[in-house]
Amino acid sequence: MSAFNTILSRIPFVRRYQSRWVLFIAVSWTIADLIWIHYFHFSINLKGEAPFSYNSTRAILLRGVIVSLMSSMMGFILIFKLRQVFRNVPLIINLLAKTSILLLAAIIMNFLLYLTYSSLIQQLPINVGIARFSKDAASIAWLLHHSLGWVVLFLITQLAIEFYEKYSPGVFWDIFIGRYIQPKVRKRIIMFLDLTDSTPIAEKLDSTMYFSFIRDFIYYVSVAILEYHGRVYQYVGDEIVVYWKNSPENKKNCINSLILSSKLLERKSDYFRKRYGFIPQFKAGIHVGEVTVGEIGIIKKDILMGGDIMNTTSRICSICGELHKKYIISKEFLNGMEMNLPIEPLGTVDLKGKAQGVELFALKIK
């Protein structure tokens, strides 16, 4: 099991996340299809519908295998390919375009079902299956009967993905089970990460190009954060607020997410330079403490974290520019660290709005 986990950990988080969606699609679509077949062929006595009859385990198993394989392929196309292609188009066009492409794949799947059923179950020549499919596919009634259920399934799946991804990983589930209906106090690692020199950049780029610049910056930083199990609490303009459950392991994850963020932006430096004329840099403030976590909202629900630690971490991030430091961490974060960090003591620093100073350290990593 440890060997499997080691191999799995080498796969980037985004790929693992996307692969889980593909697996979910393959399993759920296959189950939905088998339920559909059971309903129409056993419950309402349509088992005589040509050319299929699902009275044998072998026939049902064959259909399950074909549908699961094709569903896996369609899931892969949907998650890994189409979502990127239609990323910057309106949602309604996005849904209709992807549904049309998936519907074409569903027709191909039906073609394979005709061929395999005729040759493997009925022991007939392949050309018989081709002829049957050609005849049935020419019928509008057949196309509607075999397409409507898949169209509904495609749309529901896409809407479910869009809805789920409105939240950071884990947040939707917290809301779903009502974990924070009653506010709870939790100890969290908090990181505020902010784009450096955003005002001069905004002045030199038009608003549309600047928004694109921010979106690209946030994308690559978010990939690094998710890779090390961070949860994005919120995006505020060009600032990202991230949290982890407090533990020595997650303190390492927090630092590693900073390192990977910097590396990813460096790898994409040519892209940013050619497209925008700027290579994004960022500053970060990190602190640890207790937050009150609770569910808020009526029309739009979300999980809110409140407490002095949020304000303190924001102040730590904002003071990076004044002290000419890239990353600043608090003594509370440094306590209990199980990795040696290159740090520079900054002493006790007075932060705006704080009655008492906070002992801070500059983190000297690239």
Supply the pLDDT for residue 310: 93
Q: In terms of DSSP H, where are the helices of the chain?
A: 2-9, 13-38, 57-76, 83-85, 91-116, 126-137, 140-164, 171-177, 198-204, 207-227, 248-267, 269-276, 308-323, 331-334
End-to-end CA distance of the chain: 34
Q: Would you say residue 168 has pLDDT above 80?
A: no
Q: How many domains does the chain have?
A: 2
Q: What is the pLDDT of residues 99-129, one digit of tens each?
A: 999 999 999 999 999 999 889 888 889 898 8
Q: What is the mean pLDDT of the chain?
A: 87
Same domain, 188 and 331: yes
The residue type found at 277 is G
Supply the pLDDT for residue 47: 43
- Percentage of the chain beyond pLDDT 90 is 51
Residue 328: count of CB within 10 angstroms of its CB: 27
Beta strands 327-330 and 282-296, pairing class: parallel
Same domain, 214 and 132: no
Same domain, 24 and 115: yes
- 245 phi and psi angles, rounded to 5 deg: -65, 145
Same domain, 288 and 249: yes
pTM: 0.76
Mean pLDDT of 265-284: 94
Same domain, 323 and 182: yes
CATH (domain of 289): 3.30.70.1230
Q: What is the pLDDT of residues 198-237, one digit of tens each?
A: 889 999 999 999 999 999 999 999 999 989 989 988 888 8
Same domain, 142 and 184: no
Q: What is the pLDDT of residues 130-163, one digit of tens each?
A: 998 998 888 888 888 878 889 999 999 998 888 7
- The residue among 164, 199, 224 that closes a domain is 164
- The residue among 164, 191, 224 that closes a domain is 164
Q: 36 near 90, Cβ under 8 Å?
A: no
- Percentage of the chain beyond pLDDT 70 is 92
- The residue among 101, 134, 164 that closes a domain is 164
Same domain, 189 and 111: no
Please indicate whether residue 275 or residue 10 has the higher confidence score (pLDDT).
Answer: 275
Same domain, 144 and 285: no
Same domain, 142 and 217: no
Residue 94: count of CB within 10 angstroms of its CB: 18
Three-state SS annotation for 138-186: CCHHHHHHHHHHHHHHHHHHHHHHHHHCCCCCCHHHHHHHCCCCCCEEE
Same domain, 24 and 128: yes
Same domain, 275 and 215: yes
Q: Would you say residue 290 has pLDDT above 90?
A: yes
Mean pLDDT of 310-328: 93
Same domain, 302 and 255: yes
Q: Which domain holds residue 109?
A: 2-164
Banded pLDDT at 6 (limits 50, 70, 90): low
Please indicate whether residue 365 or residue 298 has the higher confidence score (pLDDT).
Answer: 365
